[in-house]
Chain A
């Protein structure tokens, strides 16, 4: 017996089923905000991108530029719901999970057409889109690098065609975060016939099922897409979307101000004020799907001797950089209180960030609104240090990143600010850095006493933050994701339990509880989530910013 799992309300599923049965087009779910009038059809939106796409094959790209173009051409079995990372049906109408939770069976939407007359989507195309990535015997396997497969989809054992409109995904282990991963670009469905026609050049001639179809690519200049008239969910409002490459951020803003483009990405923090002051422009911001933190080495590392991917008693080893004072939670909390995160965000992120209270950004489910974190409080910090037996502080080395990343745009300045803050409670911080490759390797080895690091999420699932960065099982010396080397069995149990249920609300509850434990143990001092900022002309409506930074132009429409 298979347990049917529907993540959304019954009503919506019923509407979808009804609309499929009656052959009519279902209502757009991503309707603009209710205060706005319904969208107008027509017009071309020129979007200023900071670089050109590398390839337009969804499974063979890792860069945001390629992804934002091909995301409007291709679709997967499921998709994100509006501006959240919750999922909803897309090319699959519904799915069931087997009792052992290792097989998910999808019913495909019937009558969905590929662009450029490549016919209807069938189970063969779905199997092909997956198999070419993992199956070495697939005829297309050697034509791509499939970089993301090994990282996010290794739990998939195989994808099987049941009949023309039914496929089963078999997994090695139960993993409910796979549902979120299935909304990733990597597993978008491509036409096998098109792949046969174009071979290795598919990436220049993409054929998907999305709301826009590919028209033209002038390298380093622009990529043009036009509305796909036969789109299964109803034609897009826009006639065309043109992605224009404008590398320089100042030039990009000027192009927006003169109306040559109608939208742009990667707004520089120094431009925020200009955009906000201009009535013809609108700024769309959101806490990005990232987190920057300082990891305090607690020394509870292990080596996975039996290679079961888990910590087992007896596998503990010494961590080279383990720092005695950090073994006391009061010291860790004192550090968290002593760092003025509000000031860092205001001055060093130029306000284009939000203070992090927990280990994951607020845009993902599982974020716990009740957690306040450690607001700046010197008195409390001093008290905690005194209680822990360090009234005069101590000396510690903190590693800071040699490169800028979205979560730490100015690592040196941020490190210096932390150094100055901690000096106020008597902690003398010596700063250290090295080549980025070595930095990553050495922190995985646990060489540091404290280090700055961060993360940009992949699929929008909390597991992709909480497990990867803080999990007990990730405190493996040599390949650690948890570079604070703090093991917490209760925390790990919650994460494991969350992967075993496919009920979104239940999963969220587990993560909310896990976040409480993580914040209390304070092995990582969370600093900030930097924002993603987009700017549009005020005549552009309906754009829904997405936590993953992916860009979907389907609901967008233009005023005349």
Chain B
């Protein structure tokens, strides 16, 4: 087991090297110049040259990569060209926001997705089943930005029950400890801020949860259907176990493995959704940060972010694999 984890971690290094190299080449291959972008359209040729020199943009690409890699292994991703702040610090500032949003979205998606999937499987071909599956199809096909705007229009403009966007009502005071506002308002016993920050997260987390919710529901349904046809389920029913016990005690456990895989994969996909959700709902998180950095040709930010994100992605995958061990005792890693 230990050996397996070590092996996987060793692979992580190779993956990260590959990811960093590809990103490095790709961002530089894209048309556009960070120096020109930084200085605006009136920049003199000299000034542009000065900036290009400062950020080593004139060196051959392998030299640039070497310089960057030497720093990156020490955990230093350099400074953003645009804001001149340390990339690591800028990313860390934004992690809590995105983490909070993704966690809530993931909880919503998993809970509703699994329950809907089970209902659908248990009552196959019923009206409920069709309802869930049509809803899931809808959820997968709906563009997040459109859904976000519609939710905003209905719940904020028409009904006036949720705010349009932002993380907290402008001007509201909240002491920041973790950067996750819901947690912070609990820690500082700030009831007003708690209600306000929850209100602000409802629409974005629902918008962000739709696609994973739909995939989880569909996966749960098919996985459950497969398990429910197994012999041991028939045996349990024959033994006279209640349907509730059959489904929730025995079937669900075995149906969980593919569901956990899907949830794990979706954590990665949530990032893509977060770019749109955070933009629509004006949330100061990682998604918006990276989108802005790409548009500004901010190479150090794009590289640093990709690397950190790839690490998280690989680690989540590893965690999912380890989780299998506990869900299914038949699985063993060598």
Q: Which A residues contact B (CB, under 8 angstroms)?
A: 44, 46, 51, 54-55, 62-63, 145, 147-148, 150-152, 200, 218-222, 224, 240, 242, 244-248, 250-251, 254-255, 257-258, 260-261, 435, 437, 458
A66 CB to nearest chain B CB (Å)? 10
Contact A222:B153 (CB < 8 A) given known A54-B82, A147-B39, A147-B40: no
Which of A151, A152, A251, A257 is B282 in contact with, Cβ under 8 Å?
Answer: A251
**Given A244-B170, A248-B282, A437-B31: 16 more A-B contacts, CB < 8 Å:** A44-B171, A62-B40, A145-B39, A145-B47, A147-B39, A150-B46, A151-B43, A218-B284, A220-B285, A220-B288, A221-B282, A222-B170, A242-B171, A246-B164, A246-B165, A251-B281
A-B contact pairs, 12 of them (CB 8 A): A44-B170, A46-B171, A55-B83, A220-B94, A221-B284, A244-B282, A246-B164, A246-B165, A247-B279, A251-B152, A254-B156, A254-B157
Residue B160 at the chain A interface, CB threshold 8 Å: yes
Q: Which residues of B contact A220 (CB under 8 A)?
A: 94, 284-285, 288-289, 292
B interface bracket (residues with beta carbon within 8 Å of A)? 35 or more
The 8 residue pairs across chains A and B that have the minimum distance between CB atoms: A220-B284, A62-B40, A151-B42, A221-B284, A255-B164, A147-B39, A46-B170, A246-B282
Contact A145:B31 (CB < 8 A) given known A219-B93, A248-B280, A258-B156: no
A203 CB to nearest chain B CB (Å)? 8
| Chain B 284-301 residues near chain A, CB threshold 8 A | 284-285, 288-289, 292
**Is A251's CB under 8 angstroms from B149's CB?**
yes
**Is B167's CB under 8 angstroms from A260's CB?**
no
Residue B271 at the chain A interface, CB threshold 8 Å: no
In the complex, the chain B residue whose C-beta lies closest to that of A154 is B44
Q: Which residues of B contact A247 (CB under 8 A)?
A: 279, 282, 288
In the complex, the chain B residue whose C-beta lies closest to that of A44 is B171
Q: Which residues of A contact B281 (CB under 8 A)?
A: 251
Q: Looking at B36, B166, B170, which has the most chain A CB atoms within 10 Å of its CB?
A: B170
Contact bitstring B86-105, A, C-beta under 8 A = 1, else 0: 00001001100000000000
Total of A-B residue pairs, C-beta within 8 Å:
108
B115 CB to nearest chain A CB (Å)? 31
Contact A147:B164 (CB < 8 A) given known A251-B280, A437-B31: no
**Is B288's CB under 8 angstroms from A54's CB?**
no
**Is B166's CB under 8 angstroms from A244's CB?**
yes
**Is B43's CB under 8 angstroms from A254's CB?**
no
**Is B165's CB under 8 angstroms from A219's CB?**
no
Contact A257:B157 (CB < 8 A) given known A148-B42, A200-B84: yes
In the complex, the chain B residue whose C-beta lies closest to that of A62 is B40
Q: How far is the CA of A143 from the CA of B171 in the complex (A)?
A: 32
Residue B38 at the chain A interface, CB threshold 8 Å: yes
Which of A54, A221, A224 is B166 in contact with, Cβ under 8 Å?
Answer: A221
Q: Which residues of A contact B36 (CB under 8 A)?
A: 437
B235 CB to nearest chain A CB (Å)? 55
**Is B90's CB under 8 angstroms from A150's CB?**
no
Residue B51 at the chain A interface, CB threshold 8 Å: yes
In the complex, the chain B residue whose C-beta lies closest to that of A45 is B170
| Chain B 68-120 residues near chain A, CB threshold 8 A | 82-84, 90, 93-94
Which of A63, A150, A260, A437 is B47 in contact with, Cβ under 8 Å?
Answer: A150
